Structures are given as structure tokens and as C-alpha cells.
A and B are shown apart, each in its own frame.
Chain A
Amino acid sequence: MYSIVRTAIVQGIKSIPVFVEADMSDGLPVFEMVGFLSAEVKEAKERVRTALRNTGYRLPAKRITINFMPANVKKNGSGFDLPIALSILGAMDIIEKEKLKELFVIGEVGLNGEIRPVHGILPMLAEAEEAGIHTCIVPYENATEAELVKQMRIYAVHSIKETIDVINGKRYQRKPKEQKPLTEEKQPDFSEINGQHVLKRACETAVSGMHNLLMLGPPGAGKTMAAMRIPTILPPLDEKEQMELSKIYSVSGLFSNREQLIDKRPFRSPHHTVTPQGLAGGGSIPRPGEISLAHKGVLFLDELPEFKKDTLEILRQPMEEKAVRLVRMNGDYEYPADFMLVAAMNPCKCGYFPDMQKCRCSSGTLERYINRISQPLLDRIDICVATSQIPFEELTEKREEETSEKIRERVMAVHERMRYRFRNESFCYNSQIPGSKIGEYCSLHLKQEAYMEKMYEKLNLTARSYHKILKVARTLADMDGSEDILQRHLTEAVCYRNIDKKLWGREV
């Protein structure tokens, strides 16, 4: 009177296999569940009991024990209902135990025996597949997501009754997929931005070297518009990256019946009231935050000074490690967070500084505004570009602008170049060159070195900002197809150097 069934929980974007055992023996009639269960799993008992009765199976008056293995991992989520029900049915000999052993099962059960969808199907099935399972039972509504795991045989079921029939080999009719007309979402494109060549150039440079970018400009100067188009010039995602990204979205329940893996670079633009948990991920059972949802894409922080300081400080460590680790009592959760940071801000509260004819800020207001920007975050930004409002003629003029596709081709060529250069290194983009290797990869000719020395004095650079200029110059040279960093690359890089807070007060 014993049966076992395989299911899983997700932790981070990884999945841990969990086995549900049911044993039925003589004794006082009791229904007991053990194995480090969270509240929602404990409640499964009542759901399963009622659902089985409504399907036509009454629990026998015996001692029923359900155990979850491994016992040291906290079990949470609503996906255990169906495995519990099936293990009981197996123990009752209603379904074949042997077949049950080879299955992977997940799903929530309603009181009428209906099966409801769960989150995180993708990582769980991917893990089961690696463990050598070839058949699985999933809720019907998760079918499209489940079918993305190619080697799996998927049984998508509506009810417990149908599940029993499927396992006992009676019949299974997968309803033919409704052919949804493929509505290709219209992607934004850089060709839709008129003019703004400086801004576009800065965006291209930032993407080419994977530098973080800060845009500084008055309201309505096209900062958000440009930021939204940055993902379109990043190289396309490869299969592994697509899977990783899809897993993150699956875990957060944002996958929503997609028929393919996520193949577009994400663009996340959290509002400035976002909490540290919302940004980095959190909760007692941690969910991925905005930085993980922006994995392999762009995290756009509009109105940078409006963000709370402690919210931004939280970005520091994930930006270094390209992942965020959340330690909880019931285990460590790791979510990847390899994103490009794009921030935008007005130069002052009203937005028009340094045009004093328009700016209405007093120097006190200015100072307060600037002091809200977190310095540690600024330190992680390589390129800073000022934008300005474009005149009306420019807006309405019809002109051929470069498409994202064209820019992306150039970006990919530069990335290829970098991959070759850094083939023996642990990093692959110019922005990641560590301080110790700057001399090796960003060496200058004597004349350029003299120029930089002069600039160092004149612009009050620090060692850090000096290195950033060199890295950006390296990228500009790569874009130019030049192995040496030339004068013109340096002058342009100097143009993009980071803001320092002194800029606002005019020197006396």
C-alpha cells in the first residue's frame, strides 16, 4: 500500500526535485502529512480530500501518511496538490504505481477536482528532463510553457479524472493548439528618433562596450525614447540566454502562455518609488526583482535623483557579481542579474539648468537636487551624455534615420572584436577591464599620454574617472576599427566623462 511520485519546487531559478510518498496502513483513520511543509502545502490535505471525493473516490478509513523528501528543504507553493492526490490514488491501487514512478507531476487542485496552473513550470521541467524523466503531467493552462522543453512528453490535464485515465493508458486527446495569428509586436526602432545624433552615438558606444549610461537633459529631450530602444541594438539572445531569461519570467509568473522562449532583450523601467526588495528581489520566499527581470537587457532608472538612496545602494553588489543572492532561513536563492544600467535625470528640479533664462531653481534647490544622487552608483557609470530639446523643424522633418538593425550589426562586430581580444580573460567587454589590466589593453602613445596628463590636471580627474575615460576610448577605437587608441577617441571619451557634482555650482 505504498506509492511514490516525483515533483519539484523552485528555489531561485533552480529547481529541486521533491518526492511525495503515500503510505496506507491499518490503524486509527488519520490523514497526516510530514516533511517540513509551509502553510499552503499543509492546506493541500483538505483540498485533495475534497477533490478526490468529488471525483468519486472516497479516502479509505485507514492511516494515511504522506511524506515529502528530502525532508530538510522547506516545501512551498501550490503545486503539490496533484502529486499528493496521485500518490494516494497509487496507494489505493486505482492507478498503476509502476507508471507513476516514471512521471513528473505538478499542479494545484480545486475542490471540484479541476487542475489549476502553477508558476515556475519551465525550470522544473528542465531539471526533470536533465534527471532523465521523459513524461510529465502539468495543468492544461501551463501546456504551452511546458512544451518549450523539447524532449518531454507532455500530458496537459484539466481534472483529476482525466489524469487517472491518462496514467491508466485509456485515452489522451490533446486538443489541437489554437492557431493564434502571429501578431508580431511592433518593436521600437532607433529610426523613429529624429536627430539626436549625439545621444544615439552615446547609446551605441554604451552598448558596444557594455558601459552603463547616464543621460542628462531637460524634460522632453527624448531620454526615455532612446532608452527604450537600447535593447533593440543589443545582439540577439542565444539559446542558453533565452532559456535562462524564460526561467526567471516563469518563476515570477510572467511567462503567460508564450509559445516560444523569450527572445527579446528585456527593458525594465521601475518607477522611482520602487522598494529595495522590488528592485533586487525579496520576500520571505524571494521573488526575482526588477534587476533580474532586466537580465541580459536594460534596466532603466528614469529620474535618478528621485530614487531613494538605500534603494540604489542595493544595486552595487549585483552589478559587480551579475547576480543577486538572497539568503533566507529556508535556503539561498540566486537570481541572475546581468543587465546594462541606463539612467536618466534632469539637470535640476525644473529641468532647464544651465539655461538661466528658463531655469527657476535657486542654488539651494539645485544643491539639494544634486545631493540626492548616490555617488556609489555614479561611480559605476562610464558614459554620461547631455541631451537637449530638439527644435520643431527637426522633429517634423522627414529624413532617413539609421535603423536599429544597422546599428546592431555594427555593435555585433565590435563585440566579436572584443571576444577575440579577451579570449584568454574571464571578462568579455571593455567596460569590465579591471584596473590592473588597463595598462595592457588601453595603452596610449606618448603624445596621447601627454594629452591625458594635461586633461587629468585640467579636469580634476580621479584615478577612477581616468580609467573610465580610457575604457570608453578603447570602445570608441574598437568601433572605429582601430587597434590603437587615437587622439579623436580620447577627446570623444573625455566628452562622455561622468558628471561630477561641482558642475552645477559655477566656480568663483
Chain B
Amino acid sequence: MKYQYWLSNIEGIGSKTIQKILRYVECAKELYFLTEEQITSLSELKEKERLKIIEHRKRWKLDAEWEAFQKKNIGFVSQEMGEFPEKLRYIENPPYSIYYKGQLPDEKFKSVAIVGARQCSEYGRLMSEKIAEALAVHQVEVISGMARGVDSYAHIGALKGKGKTFAVLGCGIDICYPTENKKLYKEIPENGGLISEYPPKTAPRPQLFPLRNRIISAFSDTVILVEAKERSGSLITADFALEQGKDIFACPGRATDGLSTGCNALIRQGAGIITSVKALLEDMGISEKIMCKEEPSLQNIQNLLLEKDESLVYSCLDFRPKSLEEISLRTGMKTQYLSGLIQNMIEKGILKEIFRNYYIRV
């Protein structure tokens, strides 16, 4: 194990290089005991890479480092071990090893990745949360990347649905990035797991994130895109998913919504369309055991038993934030009256103020 740990910790030697090395040697241990001449003769490696291995081997305190790592309560599994997830083994460019906190996804269960824009709209937030929650209720494992926006809301939704959720990070497992997700960072290992192919203490770097997307899609049977711009990281995940032969679903948006162009383009190319959570479950072949109590849609006004003026206000709102000014304009009501009305409706839990004087439906 300690040899494998060593191999996965060499700076500048990534998963691709390790695959090359493993064509010469059986395991990490064998590499460790090769003489310098033997390493230099590994012809497929670049000069620089060979040097890095030799240099690193000299500095690395094999036993001390391994002992220190074991105390950290971080799981480690490499390709050489039987526990290595089967789903990862046969993808293009598989990671040599992965680190995890909590558990690894259970391959007995279905798993779904939910990814999308970091700067998502309220619509994205709602869809992400509701889909994740419904899936979690049906024992589907929800996998995402713990980034801001859609990813975070997917984890939150899954936690709400009391299901399992897994976050594949683009940095070392011991770093919480982004920092505002502290709560998720703590809760996910208790209800699933944090996963990373990068050794602990690896700082988040932009080039690491696209790569971790291949692991997100590899772990899942189905990939769902909630909101994605035309060129975005989420589409990279979709590309990986296509390569790996996974199903892709996307939440449609209006043709004019910049945040949905990526999703709409995928649908045009033949991705599944998510018209409702129920339909999604059906498409995925999950029999609906528990009725989804809340379908994310604009509730029927008649069911809410609102007063006349309240329903007027309600009917001019949707998931796009609208300002007090706009509402006043559409309803023709005065501010002094409208403010009370809106406060009441917030109280009833059917509206929400998401920004000063900007409101959406709940």
C-alpha cells in the first residue's frame, strides 16, 4: 500500500503517465525497487518524468509518510486493489488511485450525476434541488462536484431526501473548496462520501476541475445537466458521459435564456429532456414508490386560496426575480399597499425575497 501511496503522490506524474509506467512494471512496489538505470531506460517516459520519479524517490520517507497518512482518516484505494471501483477501471484515462472520506458509491444502487452552472438562476436552483431530492428518496445516489450553484444544490437536495450523495473534488480531499460549502463538506462524508483523485493538500487549480468531471460521469449511470452555458465545464462532463456511453438528460430552458443554451443544444442533439421529475423517474426506469409531493412547477393559483389582490400579485411572479417596481407596474397597486401584501405572502410561504425588493415564487 505504501508503495502505491508513494506512486500517487509524485508531483508532475499524473494518471496518464502512471498508465504508461504500468505497462513496464506490475505494481508500484516494483517501480520503487528499480535501479536508476532501469528507470532511465523506460523509453516511453519523457526525460523530465524519469528525473521526477528518481528525485522524488530519494526525498520520500516511505514509512513515515504512510503512517502520517493513515492517521488522517482518509480512505485510499488504487487500481492494484480489488476494492477499486469497477466503474472507474475501464474508462479512458482512469485515475491510478482515489482518496475518499466517508464511503465510495455502492455499485448496487443506481447513481445519477447532476451538474450545471455555478452562477445559476433560481430556476436552476429549484430544478437541481428537486430532482436530487426525488432521486435520493428513490435510493438513487446523487453524484456531483460540490462547486457553487447547481452542484451544491444537488447535494443539498439529496441530503434533504435523506439519500446518499457523493462529491468529486478538484482539489485535495482535505481542502474545502469553495470555502462557503463548509457545511456540505462536513455533511457529505456522513451521508455518502467526498472523492478525489488528487493527493491531500493539492490546492484547487483551474486545470484540475475539467479532469475530475470524467470521474463524476464515470461513477454515474445517468448524467443530468441543469443549467449550462454554451461553453462550460458542465458540457465537458456531458462529453465524458457520451464517451463513456452514459445516458444524458438536460433541463430545458427558454430559447432566449443564456444560461440554458448548453442544455438546449444537448437536447437538440438527442439528450433526454426533463419535463418533470416524475417523467424523469419514468424515463430512468425507476418505479415511483413514493409520490413526489412537490413537482417543481408553478402552483395552481386556485389551490392556494388567495385573496383577489394576492392572486393578482402571485400570477405576475415566477422563478425569475421581479422587483417591487415591476410588480407595482403590472398590478397597478401602490407601494404602500403592495408591500404589506407581499410581506403577508412571504409569511404564508408562497413568495420569497431573494434580494432586496426582488421576489420569486416558492
Name A's B-contacting residues (CB within 8 A). Answer: 195-199, 201-202, 216-217, 347, 353-359, 361-363, 384-388, 390-391, 394, 476, 480, 487-488, 491-492, 494-495, 499, 503-506, 508
Is B181's CB under 8 angstroms from A508's CB?
Answer: yes
Is B357's CB under 8 angstroms from A386's CB?
Answer: yes
Q: A354-B354, A385-B357, A506-B125 are in contact. Are A197 and B328 (CB under 8 A)?
A: yes
Sort A-B residue pairs by CB-CB distance and give the 4 closest, nearest first.
A386-B357, A356-B121, A388-B323, A491-B340
28 pairs from A and B in contact (CB 8 Å cutoff): A196-B325, A197-B325, A198-B323, A199-B325, A216-B357, A354-B354, A355-B121, A356-B259, A357-B258, A359-B119, A363-B118, A385-B357, A386-B323, A386-B355, A386-B356, A386-B357, A387-B323, A387-B325, A388-B322, A388-B323, A388-B325, A476-B336, A488-B340, A491-B344, A495-B342, A499-B356, A503-B355, A508-B156
Task: For the A-B complex with A353-B355, A503-B355, A508-B183 known, give 14 more contacts whose Cβ atoms are closer than 8 Å.
Answer: A347-B355, A354-B122, A356-B120, A356-B259, A361-B119, A363-B118, A363-B119, A384-B356, A387-B323, A388-B326, A390-B329, A488-B336, A491-B344, A504-B355
Chain B residue nearest in CB terms to A363? B148
Contact partners of B321 in chain A: CB under 8 A:
354-355
Q: A197-B335, A386-B358, A505-B180 are in contact. Are A495 and B125 (CB under 8 A)?
A: no
Q: Of B121, B183, B322, B334, which is within 8 A of A197 by CB? A: B334
Contact partners of B320 in chain A: CB under 8 A:
355, 357
Q: Of B183, B258, B329, B357, which is within 8 A of A495 by CB? A: B357
Q: What's the A-B contact tally at a CB cutoff of 8 Å?
A: 107
A488 to B320, CA, bound (A): 27
- Residues of B within 8 A of A (CB-CB), count: 41
Distance of B108 from chain A, by nearest CB (Å): 30
Decide yes or no whether B315 CB sits under 8 A from chain A: no
Is B329's CB under 8 angstroms from A394's CB?
Answer: yes
Is A508's CB under 8 angstroms from B339's CB?
Answer: no
Contact partners of B335 in chain A: CB under 8 A:
197-198, 201-202, 492, 495
Contact partners of A361 in chain B: CB under 8 A:
119
Chain A residue nearest in CB terms to B358? A354
Chain A residue nearest in CB terms to B337? A488
Contact partners of A499 in chain B: CB under 8 A:
356
Is B259's CB under 8 angstroms from A357's CB?
Answer: yes
Decide yes or no whether B264 CB sits under 8 A from chain A: no
Chain B residues 154 to 183 lying within 8 A of chain A, measured CB to CB, are: 156, 178, 180-181, 183
Decide yes or no whether B131 CB sits under 8 A from chain A: no
A491 to B343, CA, bound (A): 7
A354 to B258, CA, bound (A): 14
Distance of B150 from chain A, by nearest CB (Å): 11
Contact partners of B326 in chain A: CB under 8 A:
388
Distance of B244 from chain A, by nearest CB (Å): 29
Decide yes or no whether B184 CB sits under 8 A from chain A: yes
A492 to B335, CA, bound (A): 8
Distance of A260 from chain B, by nearest CB (Å): 38
Is B356's CB under 8 angstroms from A357's CB?
Answer: no
Distance of B277 from chain A, by nearest CB (Å): 22
Is B184's CB under 8 angstroms from A487's CB?
Answer: no
A164 to B358, CA, bound (A): 73
Contact partners of A494 in chain B: CB under 8 A:
339, 343
Scoring A198, A384, A390 by chain B CB atoms within 10 A of each residue's CB, the highest score goes to A198
Decide yes or no whether B257 CB sits under 8 A from chain A: yes
A22 to B249, CA, bound (A): 98
A40 to B246, CA, bound (A): 86
A95 to B78, CA, bound (A): 110
Distance of B33 from chain A, by nearest CB (Å): 47
Contact partners of A391 in chain B: CB under 8 A:
329
Contact partners of A476 in chain B: CB under 8 A:
336
